[in-house]
Chain A
Amino acid sequence: MKTIAVTGGKGGTGKSTVSILLANKLRSEGKKIVLCDCDVECPNDHLLLGQKLKDPVEKVYAKFPKLNKEKCRRCGLCVQNCRSNAIFMPPNGYPVFLHELCSGCGLCWNLCPHKAINIEKKVVGEIFTTSVGLPFYHTPVRQIRNFLVSGRSAGIVEETGPIVSKTRKFAEEFAKKVKADYLLLDTAPGTHCSVIRALIDVDLAFAVTEPTPLGAHDLKLILKLLKKLKVPTKIILNQANLGNRQPIDKIAKDFGVKIEFEIPYSEELIKAYSRGKLEGINIL
């Protein structure tokens, strides 16, 4: 099984669209695909495929600190050492833990000399699986070749990296179970933690970009990141016939990365996208 990530730095360049187009291309070659939506803050691959996220198959938990006031001596050690600045101690009160800022790293409960911090588990995200392909009544279940795994943050934490990791791990196991040929990871925009967690150790990454100044700027950032992660990379240029593509060509040359596909602007594609009917489109 090969793992391919679709990323791109800039938001709105068409990462999700390209992921699905790529899945369609591989599917037309007779491959079995599991697509994993790693943009857990805003999963939308299911919308483009005209699907709904129904019942979660798995819940993602995270650990949070909870104070035991009887044991706390107000020493302030946790407040001084919290790297997320998620703990506040008022002048005459006990420490307050702000779960929204907390990354659940566990420093505070390991550090507390009085063992006054307990661990509380909370659901921070959900994982969904959706069968994509012909409807059930057309084909026997086992012949359906494609699955979508989507992670979704419950909106409790700012740091969604761990949710991405869990979603990816679930998708990897799921892909092994259904004997998929390819696992496609559709990452979030940006170059932060939740993107990195989707990009580590993939076999190939496609950086999707567009011929605009911002597209070029963010392409450079993601290529730098991918170089650091030592991931083989190729570029996909979306809306290739619009704007100015010279900066993109130059960056591709500078980084020694090939522009693998060029997707011209097409009204058909946009119509299919906005109607949630990308499943039948194979243009790559």
Chain B
Amino acid sequence: MKICITSSGRSLDSLMSPRFGRCPFLLVVDTERQKADAIENKNASAARGAGVATAQTVSDQGCKIVITGNIGPHAFSVLNAAGIKVFITEALAKTCEETLRDYNNGKLSEASAPTGRGFGRGRGRGWRRGRKN
């Protein structure tokens, strides 16, 4: 099975990235072959829809599980539609390897809803920028 971890670097001992759509790298860990491949996330600087585009990459890689710190509404809903499970870690200062160990020990919880309102153009306040009316 393939697991995808959002990472700030290319290897398993780099710090994990707390963001999904705009993380610098995606680490695809193949649990059967005991191997990790790093993919540079080209969508990190997308003007819009970084989460959806990153979800597309994850889905194209054949991953079944995503481990990240935060996930927005669009990315969450499309990952859901693709049957990919999202696990959220709150220990953000850990390396990808430690996070993977936490996952294997059952310490991470599966997300049932997006953790935020997207962290891209709307800056986490929704696209009304937090204004009312």
Contacts and interface: CB of A to CB of B under 8 A. Distances in A.
Interface in A80-129: 82-91, 93, 96, 98, 100-101, 103
A42 interface: yes
A84 B128 contact: no
Interface of A: prevailing SS = loop
B78 interface: yes
Contacts of A84: 47-49
A91 B62 contact: yes
B52 A101 contact: yes
A83 B133 CA distance: 30
Interface string A149-193: 000000100110000000000000000000000000000000000
A41 interface: yes
Interface residues of B, number: 25
A96 B81 contact: yes
B121 A158 contact: yes
B78 A158 contact: no
B43 A85 contact: yes
B53 interface: yes
Interface of B: prevailing SS = loop
A88 B127 contact: no
Interface in B67-85: 74, 78, 81-83
A34 B47 CA distance: 34
A179 to B, nearest CB: 32
B133 A42 contact: yes
B52 A86 contact: yes
Given A85-B43, A101-B49, A90 B81 contact: yes
Contacts of A281: none
A79 interface: yes
B127 A158 contact: yes
Contact of B131 (A41, A91, A158): A41
A44 interface: yes
10 contacts: A82-B49, A84-B47, A85-B50, A88-B59, A88-B78, A90-B81, A98-B78, A100-B74, A158-B48, A158-B127
Interface of B: 43, 46-50, 52-53, 55-56, 59-60, 62, 74, 78, 81-83, 121-122, 127-129, 131, 133
In order of increasing CB-CB distance, the 10 nearest A-B pairs are A85-B49, A90-B82, A85-B53, A88-B78, A101-B49, A158-B127, A85-B52, A42-B131, A84-B48, A90-B81
